[in-house]
Amino acid sequence: MKSLTEYLWFNTPKRRDLVNITERIAGLVKQSGVKEGLCLVSAMHITASIWVNDDEEGLWEDFWALLERLTPSGKEYKHHLTGEDNGDAHLKRTLVGYQALLPITKGALDLGPWEQVFYAEFDGKRKKRVVVKIIGE
Amino acid sequence: MKSLTEYLWFNTPKRRDLVNITERIAGLVKQSGVKEGLCLVSAMHITASIWVNDDEEGLWEDFWALLERLTPSGKEYKHHLTGEDNGDAHLKRTLVGYQALLPITKGALDLGPWEQVFYAEFDGKRKKRVVVKIIGE
Amino acid sequence: MKSLTEYLWFNTPKRRDLVNITERIAGLVKQSGVKEGLCLVSAMHITASIWVNDDEEGLWEDFWALLERLTPSGKEYKHHLTGEDNGDAHLKRTLVGYQALLPITKGALDLGPWEQVFYAEFDGKRKKRVVVKIIGE
């Protein structure tokens, strides 16, 4: 069994942002030498997600509108009694999910025709990490 | 390490549909010869999900009612400015998730007593794929 | 390839509850002897979730408030025509997700600084299981 572990660092200038990381992941898969296996992409901070969807700006607006509707950022959350102001960000991660497991076939990411992998930041302007863990043969 | 990769094709007659694929996945696990491992089931199109829940028709209605309430299909989404009309389907996938990772123990799917694996179609009437990736020993 | 399969049993005194299982999972990883690999944690009952987030009580209240708002427990669900009264619990699992895949690096769980793994019970007061499946080398 081969494995590769890598950490991607983010520090988005905006508090909420989407960053397409598909090419970076594809590069790590090549680097790993794994031909058949699995590639885990997981947001290590609890106010960020991994989102696999369309590389289309209109949809991104719909994504943010949905999340703002379901988990508004202006609300008074109990979590804010700790001094934090990012309760909505924890809940956005809860709804979107924070991991993707990407199949590796014949040495490459085995994605659908429009699947793109995004880092979704809900509380940015600080250094945060994503772990990429590849295993296989 | 053994591995098996297979693609399941779907072309549902209805725009929104649930298809129980548990037996097909179980058959692939047997075919793979893997005794201890993991089986990834992942919707390759960005307007479909994998849903692991109950094989009960009333619950399916509740599932559709919830999704229609949170991500209504009649809304004017920004994504529609591209000419598409399936903005809600992208968002339904976002909330439900699009993957399941099924444990394989002693050569069989290791599911709970009522866990059934469904392909959830949010924008059907066209050919779409699910990738099944099995790794283990 | 090494593997370890274990089942964690729960029987929460409250109908809805969060149980921090991070240490139990970490113990199983050590026991497995896996140095580089993946650890699947998956709720085997269809009215429970796995939630990876903050160990902070205020946030837990926000979690329950969000879920009660999106999938109220008092509603008349079609699923209740079967005699069940837990339709909301099935839907809560649908939104939160029911699995986490934890990377194992250098023999230990490779989690972010605040990531804690919770069993989220939506219909407790009965015996229910979580499967932990570890593979790697």
Which chains have at least 3 CB atom pairs separated by less than 8 Å from chain C? A, B
CATH number of the structural domain spanning residue B73 = 2.60.120.460
Domain count across chain B: 1
Averaged pLDDT score across all residues of chain A: 98
Length of chain C: 137
CB-based contacts of A103, cutoff 8 Å, min separation 6: A38, A39, A109, A110, B5, B40, B42, B131, B133
Q: Which residues of A18-33 are buried (b: 16+ CB within 10 A; e: fewer)?
A: beebbebbbebbeebe
Asked if the C-beta of C23 comes within 8 angstroms of chain A's C-beta atoms, the answer is no
pLDDT given for residue C74 in this prediction: 87
Mean pLDDT of B16-28: 98
What is the per-residue pLDDT for A101?
A: 98
Helices C87-96 and A87-96, packing angle to 10 deg: 100
Residues A28-63 pLDDT 10s: 999 999 999 999 999 999 999 999 999 999 999 999
Does pLDDT of B57 surpass 90?
yes
Q: Does C122 touch chain A (CB under 8 A)?
A: no
**pLDDT of B49:** 98
CA-to-CA distance for A46 and A97, rounded, in angstroms? 10
CA-to-CA distance for A58 and B77, rounded, in angstroms? 8
The band of B134, judged by pLDDT with boundaries at 50, 70 and 90, is very high
Q: What is the mean pLDDT of chain C?
A: 98
pLDDT of residue A74 exceeding 90 = no
Task: Tell me, yes or no, if the pTM score tops 0.90.
Answer: yes
Q: How far apart are CA B54 and CA C84, in angstroms?
A: 12
pLDDT in tens, B60-102: 999 999 999 999 998 999 999 999 999 999 999 999 999 999 9
Which pLDDT score, from 0 to 100, does residue A55 have?
Answer: 96
State the nearest Cα–Cα gap between C45 and chain B, in angstroms. Answer: 6
Q: How far is C8 from chain A (nearest CA, A)?
A: 23
Range of the domain at B93: 2-136
Tell if the CB–CB gap between C37 and A99 is shorter than 8 Å. no
Segment C102-128 mean pLDDT: 98
- pLDDT tens per residue across span C32-76: 999 999 999 999 999 999 999 999 999 999 999 999 999 999 899
- Give all strands (DSSP E) within B44-92, no chain letters: 48-53
Contacts of C118 in chain A (CB under 8 A): none
